[in-house]
Structure 1
Amino acid sequence: MSAPQPDLDRIVAIDVHTHVQASVDEADPTPSEGGKALADYFGAPPVVPTIPDLAAFYRERRMMCVAFPVNTSWATGREQRVSNDEVCRQAALAADVVIPFGSVDPHGGKAAAREIRRLATEYPIKGIKFHPSSQAFFPDDRDTYPLYEAMEETGLIALFHSGQTGVGARQRGGGGIRLKYSHPMCVDDVAVDFPDLKIILAHPSFPWQEEALAVAGHKPNVYIDLSGWSPKYFPPILVQYARTLLKSKVLFGTDYPVLTPEKWLTEFDKLGFADDVRKLVLKDNAAKLLGLVAA
């Protein structure tokens, strides 16, 4: 049986930021200690979704989602809980709703670049997720450039966490997480040196929101997703730019499972976006960026 394909006329939104936190091979998946702390920080239940879980959740809501793991093996010594291959294989079975992104160790150099090229060759993967604070690297470190070269060559999107993170928040020493790595200006050099690499700056980039807006406004290959924060906390300047100058470069995202689409949309709808701009943010901008429709 062939996998179902997306029906964009039926889809109401595309969430560009969701986490795969458990493998389908785990008999009784439980959250890690860090995952429990993160859920507590956001006041969310400690859900650990698999790809099939995400597919069922978003299909019920007539939404699509970008789904990814995060590889922090160098920084933490822990192996990636869900492999890139599993993400891609399971996403192929739910292609009507799930859009797969992979993750690689940014300290992996040429080996990580080979992994990126392999994934792009073997699967219809759309991008790679980076979390500089959790992975302990500066995006503009020249040692990571082989990864961006591979992504630019294969047409993959680079999704970078930016700004403060709930990971490690309120834990002793911040759980070892250093916020400095996720300054959005660290992505500016990447956008210059790889002008054909599509880049998403994830989240309102507190406390560097104006810098993120400057990079996205200046570099045509840089976008911003609005995940990880309830819209009621969005800085006014972000709301203003999303309504106007950057209305074609801002993307709906939740950071599920720590935020649900219902909670995010309830708060977003209080911001008074015009219907045409709301449609751009929730669906159309992502559909073009992800190649689901002609740009």
Structure 2
Amino acid sequence: MTVPDGVVAQLQELGMSMYEAKAYLALVAAGEPLNGYEAAKRSGVPRSTVYETLGKLTASGATYEVRTDDDTVTYLPLPPASLIDRLGRRYESTLGALRAALPSIAPPSRVHLIHNLTGRDPLLERAGDVVSGARHDLFLSTWPQEGAQLDGLVRDADARGVAVTTLTYGEDEDLPGHAYAHTLSPPAVVLENLGCRLFVAVADRRECVIGGFVDSDAWGIFSDNPAVVLVAVEYVRHDIAMQLVASRFPADEVASFWSTDDDLTRLRSDHGFAASALRAGGADGERPSGPRRGGRRRGRSA
């Protein structure tokens, strides 16, 4: 029996034991009723426990007993499509009950969280929680590499009436809601300045994930601290406003100003500091030293 990688583990996540998952898959692959001996042989479940395992599957409705004329008991699986539908209904019913019950148990929060996220998958998974939890508005600043992994959740948010606003670094013309491309600097220049692909997701002005991605590594934070959330959402709004303002002026004048203005040059002089700061925070290391400060000068406000 050849089983795709991960299927046993996925059935375990839905409530089956490892032996139950293996026995069920053996019955599905057989295409005909099996007795306990054959089910054990094909699944790798020990013969000493196979009947107990098949009994649990039958009790849960995942398999059926079939008795032959000589009173031999064999087993047939519930078809996979029916099993998936049944599990979906069962878990949705359970989740619905929990959605109604758990909020009434939890008292109003007295402590606001700020906790570190280290690694690409944990950061994007927490960002997915933020996107899925949005009910009113969602602000995103993302690159195509990370945006693609959240695309389905963002579209779901848009479909349920959430006001989605996205600033994207790179070409993507099919984003839901209001989407704006970062045009003042090419993505390669932004990446050189920051040292990472900066990512921000803010839901309902209530919680946020802020992080940076470098190849397959990532560091960041989740927070529901109002001050952190305010800074995150204003960062996205301000960056979008800058793109809109720049779009109203001749491109050559904007490019010249962006590349030659002394104040802008000074503000971009700390190449890579953003990535260093996020990496140090994610590793609970010492705070990296900032760029060396130059002398004060009079001029336009930064």
**TM-score of the pair, normalised by structure 1:** 0.22
Q: TM-score scaled to structure 2, two decimals?
A: 0.21
Q: Which has the larger radius of gyration?
A: 2
More strand by percentage: 2
